[in-house]
Amino acid sequence: MMAADGKKIWMDGRMVDFANAQVHVLTHTLHYGVGVFEGIRAYPTTGGGGAIFRLREHVERLVTSARFYHMPIPYSVEEIEKAILDTQAANGILPSYIRPLVYRGEPALGVKNLKGKVSLAIAAIPAKKYLGDGSETGVRTKISPFRKPSSEALPSFAKATGNYANSYLAGADASKDGYEEAILLDCRGFVAEGTGENIFVVRGGTVYTPGLESDILLGITRDSVIQIATDLGFPVVQKLVSVNELLSADEAFFSGTYAEIAPIREVGHYAIGSKVPGPITRSIMDVFFRAIRGEVPAYQKWLSPIPPLPRVEVPPAARR
């Protein structure tokens, strides 16, 4: 769970005080789970200041998700990027978790609501380690009794609020059983992803990860991992991954904006590999955690610097 607090929330072009960022109880999105959103991180960078990680890719996914749900965002990609950077600067929190949400906020019931005004809100709150100590020492997981819905029912490439009822059920079941995270299978029984993370397994020096045919979200961290692993010289293969391949893997790990890269130490009663994190996971993590801090020139392109807050000139009379 993340503590949700901050100073300002951007709502349709206005910076609203955190406590006053409200919507009506009869909003379409609240009742029917029809909204789309993003989870983005900003980090302090080693050279000073801070940067947002892969901002353009997150904004493009938000726009794609919104269009698919017939909720065209009334702002351009550049305007949304600027609003996100402004929100980050106005809250002055690092590391932060940034949550843009596209929703229909006016009171109107009826599931086939295509007309309600489409709104955008952006929050920036303090970011913590999502999977607690397991982020470093290995996450204890179980295979969820809840499977991913087929993309013929709920297309997984779109990051829609309603998809997370499925993640919630899987996560609640895992928590109640004492595990830190659930691994969901697709509707045919192949390994799909975590409740909010993609999954990788390492076998015989090759890195495997499920593809879109397993009804996953195409994660932006997943893409970063694929690029880093490839650049490090590890073969990366996207394919159907069986439970058997997961349980007998040399290494396994999650990737996600909030989870970052988190090694998996157990799946139910089965220990993964012998050392957590395993050597390939560790070398990918090492590059990733340096890249987000701006320490890897080749991945500097993934960082958007946060603008400094506009300086407020204090009149001489008020300085004393």
Residue ranges in contact with ligand PMP by CB under 6 A? 39, 167, 193, 196-198, 217, 219-222, 255-257
- Check residue 103 and give left, alpha or beta (phi > 0: left; psi -120 to 50: alpha): beta
- We find the least distance from the C-beta atom of residue 257 to ligand PMP, in angstroms, to be 3
Q: Can you list the alpha helix ranges (DSSP code H) found in 24-158? A: 28-32, 55-68, 77-91, 134-137
Q: How is residue 291 annotated by DSSP?
A: H
Q: Is 159 a catalytic residue?
A: yes
- We find the least distance from the C-beta atom of residue 197 to ligand PMP, in angstroms, to be 5
Q: Can you list the alpha helix ranges (DSSP code H) found in the chain? A: 28-32, 55-68, 77-91, 134-137, 164-176, 220-231, 243-247, 279-291
Which of 99, 83, 82, 87 has its CA nearest to residue 41? 99
* Shorter beta-carbon distance to ligand PMP: residue 62 or 90: 62
Cα(189)–Cα(173) distance, rounded to whole angstroms? 18
- We find the least distance from the C-beta atom of residue 148 to ligand PMP, in angstroms, to be 9
CA dihedral 80, 223, 51, 299 (to 10 degrees): -130
Residue given tokens 């910076």 in the structure block: 15
* Shorter beta-carbon distance to ligand PMP: residue 181 or 250: 181
* Shorter beta-carbon distance to ligand PMP: residue 116 or 194: 194
- We find the least distance from the C-beta atom of residue 36 to ligand PMP, in angstroms, to be 11
- We find the least distance from the C-beta atom of residue 87 to ligand PMP, in angstroms, to be 18
Residue 227, both tokens: 């690029």
Within 13 Å of residue 57, how many CA atoms lie on the same side as its CB? Answer: 17
* Shorter beta-carbon distance to ligand PMP: residue 90 or 259: 259
Its sign, for the CA torsion 257, 245, 147, 184, is negative
User: Reduced to 3 states, what is the DSSP secondary structure of residue 280?
Assistant: helix
* Shorter beta-carbon distance to ligand PMP: residue 10 or 258: 258
Q: Which of 8, 142, 148, 159 is catalytic?
A: 159
Catalytic positions are 159
